[in-house]
Amino acid sequence: MKNIFKIFSVVVALSAVALQPAMAGNDERRGTAGASELLLNPWARSTGWGGVNVANVRGLDGMFNNVAGLAFVKNIEVAYSNTMLYGGRSGVTSGATLNTFGLGVRVFESGVLGAYVMTVGFGDLPITTYDSPEAGDNGTFSPSYMNINIAYAHSFTNTIHGGVVFKVATESTDNVSASGFAIDAGIQYVTGENDELKFGISLKNWGPTMKFGGTGHSLTMVNNADNNFTVETRAAEMQLPTCLNIGLSYDFLFSKWDQRLTVAGSFTSNAFLRDNYTLGLEYSLLNMFQVRTGYIFQPGLWNDDAATANNGFCAGGSIDIPFSKKEGSNLGLTIDYSYRTASPLKGTHAFGASLRF
């Protein structure tokens, strides 16, 4: 009981910290946060139903939307995911490509250490200047975004699991760069005769402000006396896109063919965006085949006034291939795919694979 009381005290504290910036969020603050890539879910498995699995996420996917799910890595898990955001980088008006590598290792009987790196590629973009605003006249440049995440998750009891993520976000071009530090924390509570009812809550991207710096903020000019002088502009500080996720899920279990139907819902309170509401379903057969779908609703979506692109319908599937029939063996391969609508942009495709040892 003491552990349970401590964990729920942490949940209350996390909620209090998160709600202060979240309650202040409104349409006037849209686009004012920095490091917006921290809100991009790179994992194909969880994006198949819109990241609704805050309460029941398992494995490396948990390091994004609820790190408590990392506690369910049995031994070692290695994962890779490729996301073609808004169709991928195939032109000036296209999106970006996300590449993500993750590793989870059980280091204690009740503790798992994890890490993942996400890079964002935009391809070659045209350079435009005040004197030469036409694209193609000045060459190209290639921005570089990278998120580095180190996580630890712990099973306090058979029903309560929690964890924390320390992350560094970097953004750079040839002459301008910025970096920021943030912390995620999350908890999951599992109950029921067959652990069918789950509750989860997570706080994401809590940290200090960040700002850009570099030679790109300076401008060399010539005065009337033919003397060169340099003017440097000051970059404004940007807050990180803090958000609070709350999720609930229930498993309907059927003994024939090991079938499972999971119903899940989640609410995301964003400090610098409109709030999101997500509903999702996942069906599993023989513990090997899963299909899932979800719908992400944001106020204004049905009036063509959505604040972000990845809203609406999403779907995906997974194939789990065991490499050993030995009882208790965790050795296997999982292949994942997801698709998310992104009106009026192109849809987002994600492919992933993970190895369990």
Give the SS3 label for residue 22.
helix
pTM of the complete model beyond 0.85: yes
Which residue segment(s) compose the domain that 193 sits in? 2-356
pLDDT value for 216: 80
Count of structural domains within the chain: 1
Please provide the size of the chain in residues: 357
CA dihedral 339, 63, 51, 154 (to 10 degrees): 140
CA 163 to the chain's CA centroid = 16
Tell me the sheet residues that pair with 138: none
Mean pLDDT by 10 residues, the chain (357 residues): 46 48 54 88 96 96 96 96 81 72 96 97 80 74 92 96 96 90 96 95 94 82 76 86 95 95 95 91 96 91 71 94 84 96 86 96
> Which neighbouring-strand residues pair with 188?
161, 200
State residue 16's pLDDT score: 46
235-266 b/e (C-beta count within 10 Å ≥ 16 → b): eeebbbbbbbbbbbbebeeeeeeeebebebbb
CATH code assigned at 167: 2.40.160.40
- Please write the tens of the pLDDT for every residue from 261-290: 999 999 999 888 888 999 999 999 999 999
Task: Report residue 36 as tokens.
Answer: 């917006």
Q: Please confirm whether the linkage preceding 143 is cis (ω < 30° from 0).
A: no
Q: CA 130, 136, 141, 145: dihedral to nearest 10 degrees?
A: 90
Beta bridge partners, 265, equal: 248, 279
What dihedral do alpha carbons 46, 51, 55, 57 form, nearest 10°?
20
Q: What is the mean pLDDT of the chain?
A: 86
Instruction: From 153, 66, 138, select the one nearest 104 (Cα to Cα).
Output: 153
